[in-house]
Structure 1
Amino acid sequence: MKEAAQAFTPEARIKRHLRQHLTDLGFTKDESGALVLPDASKATVRTLHRKQREDKLAENAAFIANHLPSLQTYFASGTDVRPEAIRPVLQLVTGTGVEAKLFRLASLTWSVPVSSGFGRRMRYLVWDQSIGKLIGIFAIGELTDFTKVIADAPARRHIASDAAPYRDYAPVKRDYIAREARNTTLGLAGEEFVVRFEHWRLNQLGQTKLADRVEHVSQTRGDGLGYDVLSFDANGKERFIEVKTTAFSKETPFFVTRNELNFSKDASDHFVLCRLFEFRLKPRLFALNGALDQHCALDPVTYRASFA
């Protein structure tokens, strides 16, 4: 037989408050003593989360007041949507731009509550392409075990000054390296992986607000900045991350642009080279801080970077 909590003890008070709260939400008990909801309708779900939503709305009142008037036009109304014509399109949310604000507004103001979740999630907007309006949001948990992707960088091997330049690599190998440099799909996938990694890293450090500010700048602001991802260290210092992705080993050479090289020198205190390798099989990465030419041997004509 279970021992009852003594009256007026902290444990008893908590139990009374909890029972009253569950009763207010509509729970009853069946013959076995298990909690039972009246039904599984949307109205019941809304009731269950009403207090939590009221607290959330109060907490985010300033954000809603500031952004709802200008962003409301993106949201579909009941009269906009024609079920037979819906053409759903997903958009990954990164950074803190308009898409992030839309996701946050939807999660706060739509009637069905949205869980904040645990850890880092990949957030998506669902657009109806037929009307160009937002009709849904969802998020999925990060599936990658990022604790296993971090690797040591290869040591740069210095070649004696009187040695002949290294040119003894097979044409097929060189072609594959050039192909990877032109492979925008591979490059974009690598950048998105690093965005997710940076979110995870900052959340692990307890810096959730900084994690939400990680931005895929090559997509949100365009190419030509000299880096791909804006992130931060634990103290809030900016990290300008240039991502280079390969399906081959970590020693595989890669190409850099003159702009990337110059930017790495000008912003050497913030610049980070993130090298993703074995990407198609089991992605691993290492990061190098500072100017590119500190870590890599650069061919002066092609800007082919290597660690030898």
Structure 2
Amino acid sequence: MMKEHVFVSAIIYARNNEKEISKTLESIDTVLNKTFINYEIVIVNDFSEDKTLQIIRNTIPSLRGNIIVINLSRKHGVENAMMAGLNKSMGDFVYEFDSAIIDYNIDLIPQLYKKAVTGFDIVSASTELSSSFSKLFYKVINRISYLDLDLGTERIRLVTRRALNAMLCLKEKVRYRKALYAYTGYAKAKVEFLSTGNYPQKKLNRENVALALDVLVSFSNFGLRISHYLSFLFFFFSIFMLGYSVYNYVFNRNVVEGWTTIMILISTGFAGLFFIIGMLGEYISRILIESQNRPFYSTKSVELYKEKPGAKNNAEAEVAVTNSI
């Protein structure tokens, strides 16, 4: 089989993956070596608290090609951590692996490349197997976003250099790559695959909820629309209560004045106001984040492993320690 002459980068996110990271690296390295002449593997270690980094270092001598290990100084989450790898990548085509867990046929990797060279700048591997929380989130964001999104659960993504550069140049501080790639306008395609079922379901936790809220606020008019709708709702409710009070005053003079109506009006009115103020607070916080212009990630060290000339299973390491990027 003829190897492709383009230079390819593979960015792999790792966070407490000591059980699967070695097999994943060997599998990805094998298929890349069969498909491409030149490639690099960039591993982003998102402050793993187990033996992930040690296992990565032990596995590297058996890999071919150039290997880069980026160690982050604290936990950043998938989106910001992957930015560290994407900024470091050099490939004409860049694979994005958001997880070190493989639940697909490894031949899916060259399949994405074959699809890309037919005229697509963004090709993703998509599956229907996802958690109910993910399905609900994608359904909501696809419906209400002003970007006309068609998002879903993805395991791998392959992007061309021009699409990646366009995404990296966007000044959004909420780095949700699926939406940002859609914002660039480059041609996108999906390749469906059947999951083996060994991928863990996403749990509903604070990190996932925070990301979902950030995406809804940043890539849709969700908050403003709800605030507007509630403003109109409580306005008409207040008008109705005013008319009701006048009616009782004119036509029902024997009515006993009570606190129930007043409490209903006050409680519902203030509930609406507090919700609207909360949504405005979210947008104000986004303005603060944008104005601070802080870096997306901070790097503890970068390890460069280059294959020695004439050697197949040996690697020499250069370790550079940086403050922050």
How high is the TM-score relative to the length of structure 2? 0.21
Q: Larger helix proportion, structure 1 or 2? A: 2
Q: Which has the higher contact order (CA 8 A, sep 6+)?
A: 2
User: What TM-score does the superposition give when structure 1 sets the normalisation length?
Assistant: 0.22
